[in-house]
A and B are shown apart, each in its own frame.
Chain A
Amino acid sequence: MNLFLNQILAIVWKDFVTELKTRELFSAMFIFALLVILIFIFSVNLSVVKASEVGPGVLWVAFLFSGTIGLNRSFMLEQENGCLMGLMLVPADRTAIYFGKLISNFIFLSIMELFILPLFMIFFNIDILEHLLPLLIVIFLGTLGFCALGTLLSSLASNLKTREIMLPILLYPLLIPIIIAVVRMTGQILNGEPLSEMMNWIGLTASFDIIYIGVSIMTIDHILEE
């Protein structure tokens, strides 16, 4: 078990070192998310619609789109110079590769989200500080589900001919349930409702996370196989 954790940590650490050296991914994700929010602000008339009604949707679309950039990078980077082959030759379980990638994707996306939230608060004039804890729980559950399924499909898409195009096409329809859930929950939280009012949505999101992590553990061997 200890060995398994060490293997996962080694992969996460490798991704972090790469990111610290190149600084390509994080800045791109952050600026892209910011642009998505700006474009949405220009496309809806905020003096007509209530900010707290469109806000959650805009926020999650920004997370989703910039998260896709991160996912696209995560396995495609490994394709260059045959790094993925090197990873697979390591005497480690394939699930360790999956969990390593899942954790590094999750951490990158979470950091980006923490930077976006204050900007969202300023642009939409929504005070999120009073509901911060429930909001963070929802963001945690949503981001975990996105990364669980996204990492699996990203490992799959990286071997296709048109990888950048196929990942969103495969991923977005499967993410619709979780998008509906997190947007609903974020909206209700910003309206001041407690988490106990939306246990059905939390159950849906949590079981989505658990089931897709489980499915990924079972199927990752068949994807990373050469």
Chain B
Amino acid sequence: MNPDAVEENQEEGNILVWLTGLAFLAAMIAIFIYVPTERTEGVIQRIMYFHVPSAWLSFFAFFVVFICSILFLWKKEREWDIYAQASAEIGVIFCSLVLVTGPIWARPIWGAWWVWDARLTSTLILWIIYVAYLMLRTQCDAGSMRARYAAVLGIVGFLNIPFIHFSVLWWRTFHPQPKVITNEGIGKGMDPTMLATLGVSLCAFTLLYFLLMGVRVRQENLKDEIDRLKKEKLYSS
């Protein structure tokens, strides 16, 4: 990498940092000041503005893992492996957030931390699949084998999602039905202010995803660079 490109990357990164910061500031104001408290559920309902974006983000991240895994097996280029790994790590973090915020909300509303509802169960299974994916990565030495194996698991794991969805749906379900996209059309099931707050929060989380991806990918690239330099300097003399 030449120095100019590094600087340019830095500048882009800085803009993204500012954008993400502003978006989160806006989201916090919207969540804690602007949006009215929900009538029946009370103040605890505000956790939804973290819960839903985290869920969206983790599913998006796992989808990126899937796409990057396919691209890696097709092109065999190291960068797709880096993208897949970074995305899986971010996805697992936000999937954990979903699993933490969910019970906090469920305890006062449902009267139980956890129920074996379809969506809860499928999120938990998804979390385990991608934790196993990250474990697989620690089990192999860095190199082509690790990348190939992880890519295969990234594909197999994502293809499992429809099966998990239908099997646990037919098994049982009582999660709140989706409110944003309902049978009546988009955004009819919710108050407009709530919808706006959720929208801002979604934007903030999505920006955060790209910010974290950038940092993680840069870190992996630097690691490769260090390895390369080490080999060059240590073994050449």
Contacts and interface: CB of A to CB of B under 8 A. Distances in A.
Interface of A: 149, 152-153, 156, 159-162, 166, 169-170, 173-174, 176-178, 180-181, 184, 200-201, 204, 207-208, 211-212, 215, 219, 222-223, 225
A72 to B, nearest CB: 15
Nearest to B129: A173
Contacts of B156: 149, 152-153, 174, 212, 215, 219
B145 A159 contact: yes
B216 interface: no
Query: Would you list the 4 A-B pairs with minimal beta carbon distance, nearest first?
Result: A177-B163, A177-B167, A173-B128, A180-B167
B168 A180 contact: yes
Given A173-B132, A180-B168, A204-B167, A215 B155 contact: yes
Contact of A156 (B73, B153, B157): B153
Contacts of A156: 149, 152-153
A215 B136 contact: no
A222 B164 contact: no
B164 A177 contact: yes
A170 B129 CA distance: 7
A174 B129 contact: yes
B170 interface: yes
Given A212-B159, A215-B156, 10 more contacts: A156-B153, A159-B145, A162-B139, A166-B135, A166-B136, A173-B160, A177-B167, A178-B167, A208-B163, A223-B149
B148 interface: yes
A211 B163 CA distance: 11
Given A162-B139, A166-B139, A222 B152 contact: yes
Nearest to B153: A170
B135 A200 contact: no
A180 B139 CA distance: 29
A153 B160 CA distance: 14
Given A161-B139, A169-B132, A200 B159 contact: no
Q: Is the interface of A mostly helix, strand, loop or mixed?
A: helix
Contacts of A212: 156, 159
Given A201-B170, A204-B163, A208-B163, A223 B132 contact: no
B140 A160 contact: yes
Nearest to A207: B163
29 contacts: A156-B153, A160-B136, A160-B149, A161-B139, A162-B139, A169-B132, A170-B136, A173-B128, A173-B129, A174-B129, A174-B156, A174-B157, A176-B125, A176-B164, A176-B167, A177-B160, A177-B164, A177-B167, A180-B171, A184-B171, A207-B163, A208-B163, A211-B159, A212-B159, A219-B73, A219-B152, A219-B156, A222-B73, A222-B152
B151 interface: yes
B114 interface: no
Contacts of A222: 73, 148, 151-152
A181 B168 CA distance: 9
Contact of B135 (A169, A178, A181): A169
Interface string B125-141: 10011001001100110
A162 B135 CA distance: 11
A74 to B, nearest CB: 17
Nearest to B141: A161
B170 to A, nearest CB: 6
A215 B148 CA distance: 14
Interface in B186-232: none
A131 to B, nearest CB: 21
Nearest to B128: A173
Contacts of B153: 153, 156, 170
Interface in B66-84: 73
Nearest to A171: B132
Contacts of A181: 167
A180 B163 CA distance: 10
B104 to A, nearest CB: 24
A176 B156 CA distance: 13
B166 interface: yes
A173 B170 CA distance: 18
Contacts of B132: 169-170, 173
A149 B148 CA distance: 17
